[in-house]
Structure 1
Amino acid sequence: MQQLAHRLERLGTETAFSVAQAAAAWKAKGNLVYPFHLGDINIPTAPNIVEAMNRAIADGYTGYCPGPGIPQLREALADDIGSRRGIEFSPENVVVMTGGKPVITKFLQAVMNPGQEVLYPNPGFPIYESQIEYLGGTAVPYRYVPTSTGFAIDLEQIRASITPNTVAIIYNDLQNPISAESTAAEREAIAQLAIEHDLWVLSDEAYFETRYEGVSSSITSIPGMAERTVILYTFSKKFAMTGSRLGCAVAPREIAQVLSTLNTNDESCTTHYVQWAGVEALRGPQDSVQHMLDILQTRRDTACELVNSIPGMHVAVPQSTFYLFPDVTEVMERMGYTAVGDFASDALYKTGVSFCTREHFGRRLPGEERQYIRLAYSGIEVPDIRDGLGRLREWIETA
């Protein structure tokens, strides 16, 4: 009998989609579901962006185009990303891709050989771990520790984890799922470790502009980092274009050339007319971006207030992303749960509230004792946030 490739045994998935399937099955049976599980956005793409895409289709931009992206989009991305980070990028630094995810895979293909080690955040976006291992690397997790304002990277653990076989570190400032944001000192420490040990860095900046207070900073702005760092950029979050599948890598030219070749091998090019929508998103009016942030901030404030009103559950108010990562340890202990997955399943079937757990974002690390869940508020309206979290509180209080 024919066998499938052994490397498939190392391939993971984006586990939030499995939670979505369970929620959809429960909803299909006629039950009410409050979708806090998936980081999709239920706010429409701005009309001017949609019109630009439709116009490009009507104008015949439906064929092949350059593998690294159309010149107009690469130039717009170089200008926008560079100006917001205080760095001068050229279009040759930009490689357009079908969303942000391909940047992870192609970065690893470009810098990592089988058997080499890559540091990645845990909890973190599960595709990091999946792709490192699928491509034959050794995934080395680094952890976060809770603080009064959220979470901080365990820098001592990172230092202890670096070996002569370590080739890269994946760094997700403004982090999914825990909404952690580095202090300037923490960002500098990561940069110094990368320079000291001559590591490549993938800086996942998907949420760089999804923030409600303060100003984002990029590790690439630190001297010595632009030449060793690849930025992951996506239109999905800032412009509510999750289904359009448009993003890019901003990289040193030697890496950009490799990424462009990988594009040609993998998908030839990113959809031509979608790239013209990207040009309009960057060059056109920006009022829709602020409008979406205002909506998300209201949802954040509502969700944080309600979560912190539930006895035994607490969360710091994040300044960015659209996720909450509340500690539910006390709630679970009081209700008699030992597995956070059981707590999540019962919450769905008894309250309709659907959410991911810490286990959906990487293998639990030695010494972890606290229990967490992730609530995404990007795809749920304020009345449903109030109703859903109200039901969750009632269930917890009466258990």
Structure 2
Amino acid sequence: MYQTQRGVNSMQHLAQRLERLGTETAFSVAQAAASWKAKGNLVYPFHLGDINIPTAPHIVEAMSKAIADGHTGYCPGPGIPQLREALAEDIGSRRGISLSPDNVVVMTGGKPVITKFLQAVMNPGQEVLYPNPGFPIYESQIEYLGGTAVPYRYLPTSQGFSIDLDQVRASITPNTAAIIYNDLQNPISAESTAAEREAIAQIAQEHDLWVLSDEAYFETRYEGVSSSIASLPGMAERTVILYTFSKKFAMTGSRLGCAVAPLEIAKVLSTLNTNDESCTTHYVQWAGIEALRGTQEPVQQMLDILRERRDAACELVNAIPGMHVAVPQSTFYLFPDVTAAMEKMGYTAVGDFASDALYKTGVSFCTREHFGRRQPGEERQYIRLAYSGIDVADIRDGLGRLRDWIATA
């Protein structure tokens, strides 16, 4: 086993920027849940947004065929032409915008789009606005790459949450380079109204900002129709769309996604691909073509399953004393307010509430603190429940146990 010779002072030899690197904090909750389960305890996994529905057989078969056909070597850095063409057609038609394959840069999932977007548009010292609560990799990568992460908040409404547009406007300075915008949002399931989307577009144009539109859940929805900020006038030329196969096609482990970008940015992203990983796994890209152009019946079947889980989870959460949540039309997350429940039980720290819930009920979940630093003035307490990896029967059993624990406190 390799042993360092530098002893306790070895950290001084590592790059200082590592001190600014965060992580996807849901995985730390997963470790605690796995440890508790390994001791023989029952765990209800509401913590991680993975999907316990298998990738559709025709997609798996396409991947296996691609391997058998010898698609196991290098391929073009921005992706194979057939997949880029399929993505341009599918993404463009669903958003009402005209795309060329040259606008599409294939990547190993959605996360690399965040990092490479920031590398392309943000200089060290510049500011980037990002949603908070939000996907923690936004904040992590802005700071790791030497930028200043400027959070903007959401305000609770009867329908869920809305962006604090006044805060967004007040946060912009001459040093602001970009804004990260996550419509159909993780963790809070917020969806912009048309007016809110147009307001963000107007702000971006007024201040000449680049926009990263994270659309990972664009088609994970149960009612209504999704819209992209890139389809608004004047936005296609300043917007990079983050697209992933992970959610829509239950391909989280396949690591396949893409950036849809103006040509000047697409060329930069392609060069970054070549520098970072050479190319996205060749045979997985052929599976992506089949996912896009093959039967879409498994997609609808998965949405039906997720809708049933959403409905069960919302019903049960709203029956728990001191907890309430609006019913979201998209994603597979709930972000209930648990302030009254915590007060009833004597908790002041939501982390303590979450830990005791795991050990006393088996219900494992993330909290608001896992999705960015709490902003000044935040007084309400929230948790995130992901229902993508847990069946309806376990949703009912787990949330029933949580309800009984809280009710009898």
Scaled to the shorter chain, the TM-score interval is: over 0.9
SS at match of 1:259: helix
Q: Which position in structure 2 is the counterpart of 1:367?
A: 377
Within 5 A, what are the aligned runs for 1:1-399?
1=6, 3-399=13-409
Identity, in percent, stands at 89
Q: How far did 1:294 drift?
A: 0.1
Alignment partner, residue 3 of structure 2: none
Query: SS of the counterpart of 2:124?
Result: coil
Q: Deviations over 1:13-66 (max 9, x none)?
A: 000000000000000000000000000000000000000000000000000000
Provide the C-alpha distance between the structure 1 equivalents of 2:310 and 2:404, rounded to a whole number of angstroms: 20
Q: How far, CA to CA, are the matches of 1:325 and 1:262 in structure 2?
A: 35
The residue type paired with residue 73 of structure 2 is: G
Task: Give me the whole-angstrom Cα distance separating, in 1, the residues matched to 2:293 and 2:317.
Answer: 38
* SS of equivalent to 1:198: coil
CA distance in 1, matches of 2:335, 2:32: 20
Q: TM-score, normalised by structure 2?
A: 0.97
Aligned-partner Cα distance in 1 for 2:32–2:118: 32
TM-score of the two chains, using structure 1 as the length reference: 1.00
Post-superposition Cα deviations, 1:349-374, rounded to whole Å, max 9, x if no partner, equal 00000000000000000000000000
| Partner SS state of residue 168, structure 1 | strand
Distance 1:42 1:332 in 2: 30
Aligned equivalents of 2:33 and 2:147: distance in 1?
A: 34
Instruction: Name the CA distance, whole Å, in 1 between partners of 2:145 and 2:349.
Output: 31
Which stretches in structure 1 are left out of the alignment for 5+ residues? Answer: none
Question: Quick one: which amino acid aligns to residue 197 of structure 1?
Answer: H
Offset of residue 311 of structure 1: 1.1
The separation in 1 between residues aligned to 2:166 and 2:392, in whole angstroms, is 40
C-alpha displacement at 1:8, in angstroms? 0.1
Deviations 1:259-310 (A, max 9, x none): 0000000000000000000000001000000000000000000000000001
Q: Distance in 2 between matches of 1:96 and 1:250?
A: 9
Code of the residue aligned with 1:306 in structure 2: it is: L
SS of equivalent to 1:360: helix
Moved over 4 A (4+): none
- Cα distance in 1 for residues equivalent to 2:18 and 2:30: 23
Structure 2: stretches of 5+ with no match in the other structure: 1-5
Equivalent residue letter for 2:278: S
Secondary structure of the 2:242 match is strand
Distance in 2 between residues matched to 1:311 and 1:41, nearest whole Å: 29
**1:135-158 Cα shifts (integer Å, max 9, x gaps):** 000000000000000000000000
Count how many residue pairs are aligned between Structure 1 and Structure 2: 399
Looking at structure 2, the residues matched to 33 and 312 of structure 1 have their Cα atoms a distance apart, in angstroms, of: 23
One-letter code aligned to 1:216: S
Query: Matches of 2:300 and 2:122 in 1, distance apart?
Result: 38
Q: For residue 306 of structure 2, what is the amino acid of its counterpart?
A: L
CA distance in 2, matches of 1:43, 1:4: 40
Deviation for aligned residue 1:159: 0.3
RMSD: 0.4
Measure, in 2, the Cα distance between the counterparts of 1:241 and 1:278: 9
Deviations 1:204-249 (A, max 9, x none): 0000000000000000010000000000000000000000000000
CA distance, structure 2, for counterparts of residue 386 and residue 222 of structure 1: 41
Q: Give me the whole-angstrom Cα distance separating, in 1, the residues matched to 2:26 and 2:347.
A: 21
